[in-house]
Amino acid sequence: MEQPITSLSLMALTAVCLAASVAALRGLRRREARATRGVTAAMTLLVVGSAVLLGARWWHAGELFQPLHAHVDGLLLITMLLGAALLFLRWRPRMLTVSAFGLPLLVLLYAWAVCAAAWTYRPFKLETLTPVWSWLHLIGVYVGTLCFVIGAVAAAAYLYVHHRIKRKDDPGSIGRLPPLETLEHLVIRSATLGFAILTVGLVGGIVVIAQHPDAIGPNGWVIAKFALAGAVWLLYGLLINLRFATSFRGTRAAWLSIAGLVLLIMTYGLITALPTNQEAKKNNPAAVSSEHRSRTAFSYSYSKRSLIGVRERATKTIKARQELLPCV
């Protein structure tokens, strides 16, 4: 599918999501039934639109077993699943607040997808990498990110509810509020599931980089990527064990979940901004000439060794024939 069509479709979905987000946040106080139905209809449109756009890009690519061809496809997958999760929460008792806090983050993901399609589009080159490990890496990263996004949404709702209770406001004036314990359990469970899935993705990425060291760019970028990814992994590993520490729960755990998502977004931004190995070579002619000289020297030494081997075999053949001549 042409990128202008994808970009325009994503812009339209972003506008719909922004309008739904504003209506949902206003509905926290007013609790108007008409606004609630409008937000639900808009979220249904977002889920269906994301699914149709992702399916159209998949069909246009013509590869049945490769649904993700670029970073924008991964973002579309996250927005579709996150929208479905938020839509499900709107039908749960006292979970309307969580879905309302998830819509602004959904707007951010749609805007990010617009940037990934319009300005930083870069297709995956899975055919040059190890296919199985590459798919494990992509699935682990994107699905793990979805779990962390849900955890961050629940953490934001936890902070909001905690703030309202601390101010001793009337819960009836701000809509249906879930219990703090329910929100805390949602944060921990989302982080636990995301941690397990992200671990699979990190293992797949390590195997790919071990077999293809220049897959994502120069060595300095690889070190920075692994440093941020390792920090996110450790942060969520700490978060899922906080339920055993009574002194580090509640608002601290909520802020930690949000901080982990921010670090993960920074990692995505780093990967999007860093040049590929070919782009780095184009921007650094000295590295290209150095690599060319090394390849030339290797070819010359290999040719020289081959020539010496041919001469040695020819000399042995001549000596063998000379030894057989007197006998004849």
What pLDDT sits at residue 119? Answer: 81
When computed from its CA atoms, the radius of gyration of the chain, rounded to whole angstroms, is 28
* pLDDT, position 213: 61
Q: Are 11 and 114 in contact (CB under 8 A)?
A: yes
CB 259 within 8 Å of CB 235: yes
8 Å CB contact between 22 and 34: no
The predicted pLDDT at position 298 comes to 44
**Exposure string over 151-182, b if 16+ CB within 10 A, otherwise e:** bbbbbbbbbbbbebeeeeeeeeeebebbebeb
Q: Of 175, 195, 300, which is closest to residue 241 (Cα–Cα)?
A: 195
Query: Has residue 44 got a pLDDT over 70?
Result: yes
What is the 3 state secondary structure string of the chain? CCHHHHHHHHHHHHHHHHHHHHHHHHHHHHCCHHHHHHHHHHHHHHHHHHHHHHHHHHHHHCCCCCCCCEHHHHHHHHHHHHHHHHHHHHCCCCCHHHHHHHHHHHHHHHHHHHHHHHCCCCECCHHHCCHHHHHHHHHHHHHHHHHHHHHHHHHHHHHHHHHHHHCCCCHHHHCCCCCHHHHHHHHHHHHHHHHHHHHHHHHHHHHHHHHCCCCCCCHHHHHHHHHHHHHHHHHHHHHCCHHHCCCCCCHHHHHHHHHHHHHHHHHHHHHHHCCCHHHHHHHCHHHHHHHHHHHHHHHHHHHHHHHHHHHHHHHHHHHHHHHHCCCC
CATH class of 1-124: mainly alpha
User: Domain limits of the chain?
Assistant: 1-124, 129-283, 288-318
| pLDDT at site 53 | 92
Average pLDDT over residues 293-312: 54
Q: Give per-residue pLDDT as tens, 155-187.
A: 988 888 888 888 776 655 555 667 888 888 888
What the block records as the tokens of 47 is 């889920």
- Report percent pLDDT > 90 for the chain: 10
How big is the chain, counted in residues? 328
Of residues 232, 235, 233, the one with CA closest to residue 263: 232
pLDDT on residue 328: 44
Q: How confident is the model at residue 323 (pLDDT cuts 50, 70, 90)?
A: low
pLDDT at 28 over 80: no
pLDDT, tens digit (0-9, with 9 covering 90-100), for 75-113:
898 899 889 988 888 877 667 777 788 888 899 989 988
Separation between Cα atoms, residue 272 and residue 29, nearest integer Å: 39
Full-model pTM: 0.69
Instruction: Determine the straight-line distance between the first and last CA of the chain, rounded to whole angstroms.
Output: 77
What integer pLDDT is reported at residue 241 of this predicted model? 74
Which of 115, 144, 157, 147 shows the shortest CA–CA distance to 272? 115
In which band, very low, low, confident or very high, does the pLDDT at 317 lie, cut at 50, 70 and 90?
low
